[in-house]
């Protein structure tokens, strides 16, 4: 899950990122924006976050006006508003259906409460398929059929038991389209835990016999997540 955090005060965005990275590090990535216009530009390039945390007033910009302009691109994206001035907040309940309103200084318990609501919503409503661009054509593939992903020369290859699909995209951006059943294990690889059979020394054995590399930087987390996944399957 990707969360966009937008505020012109870097101490606020860095603090929110620290809280999220500490509490949700295995399931949430954060991307910081210093201006509403930067976030708008990103959204217009179809870099859509799963949720947005944004200050209502950002320098000379208005976060609400920016969100109105890009609404057609993010009609269902959950938004949490932050503000230091409650008197400017009446319009958000008229023009938006916010998932949360947090006043400064940031209360981490309130932040976590709203984020957990969004996580639950996205888990229940996450699409079962993803759209990828192959040879300039959009195709739909079933996420549950993807065994693993490999990044090479600006392309990501999605491997299924029956086929493989290549898309010009960064692995980080490809992962955003997936869910937390997919685990990054290397700068160039990610696996679907559903098909991870065993973990050898720096290799994950997949159900089709493929051995996917695991780098040293990812090894401890991979070991923990594979054990956690296997335990959940037997009810531990």
Nearest CA among 63, 103, 66, 64 for reference residue 85:
103
Residue 81 CB neighbour total at 10 angstroms? 23
pTM, full prediction: 0.57
Average of per-residue pLDDT values in the chain: 87
Q: pLDDT tens digits, residue range 133-183?
A: 898 888 889 898 999 999 999 999 999 988 999 999 999 999 988 888 899
Distance CA 124, CA 136 (A): 31
What pLDDT is recorded for position 96? 67
Quote the pLDDT of residue 90: 58
Domains of the chain: 2-125 (3.40.50.2300), 130-233 (2.40.50.1020)
Contact yes or no for 157/150 (Cβ under 8 A): yes
**pLDDT of res. 117:** 92
Which of 90 and 128 is assigned the larger pLDDT? 128
| Omega cis (within 30) before 105 | yes
The pair of three-digit structure tokens given for residue 36, joined into one six-digit string? 């509403």
User: Among residues of the chain, what percentage have pLDDT more than 70?
Assistant: 91
DSSP code per residue over 129-175 = EEEEEETTEEEEEEGGGEEEEEEETTEEEEEESS-EEEEES-HHHHH
Asked whether residue 48 carries a pLDDT value surpassing 90, the answer given is: no
pLDDT score for 111? 95
Indicate if the pLDDT at residue 235 is higher than 60: no
- Residue-level pLDDT at 87: 59
Q: Which pLDDT score is estimated for 22?
A: 93
Residues 6 or more apart whose Cβ sits within 8 Å of residue 84:
103, 104
* 127 has a pLDDT exceeding 70: no
- CA–centroid distance for 87 within its chain: 32
Calculate mean pLDDT across residues 58-71.
Answer: 81
Gyration radius (Cα) of the chain, Å:
19
Is residue 35 scored above 60 in pLDDT? yes
């Amino acid at each position: 899950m990707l969360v966009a955090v937008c505020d012109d005060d870097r101490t606020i965005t860095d603090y929110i990122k620290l809280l999220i990275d500490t509490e949700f590090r295995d399931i949430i990535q954060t991307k910081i924006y210093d201006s509403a216009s930067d976030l708008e530009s990103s959204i217009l390039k179809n870099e859509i976050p799963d949720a947005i945390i944004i200050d209502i007033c950002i320098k000379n910009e208005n976060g609400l006006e920016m969100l109105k302009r890009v609404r057609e691109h993010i009609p269902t994206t959950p938004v949490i508003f932050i503000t230091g001035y409650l008197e400017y907040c009446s319009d958000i309940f008229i023009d938006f259906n916010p998932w949360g309103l947090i006043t400064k200084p940031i209360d981490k318990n309130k932040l976590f409460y709203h984020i957990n609501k969004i996580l639950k919503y996205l888990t229940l409503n996450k699409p079962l398929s993803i759209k990828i661009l192959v040879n300039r054509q959009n195709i739909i593939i079933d996420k549950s059929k993807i065994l693993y992903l490999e990044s090479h020369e600006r392309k990501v290859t999605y491997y299924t038991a029956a086929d493989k699909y290549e898309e010009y995209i960064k692995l980080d951006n490809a992962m955003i389209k997936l869910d937390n059943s997919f685990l990054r294990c290397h700068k160039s690889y990610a696996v679907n835990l559903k098909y991870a059979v065993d973990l050898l020394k720096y290799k994950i054995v997949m159900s089709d016999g493929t051995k996917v590399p695991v780098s040293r930087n990812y090894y401890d987390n991979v070991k923990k997540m594979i054990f956690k996944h296997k335990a959940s399957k037997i009810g531990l």
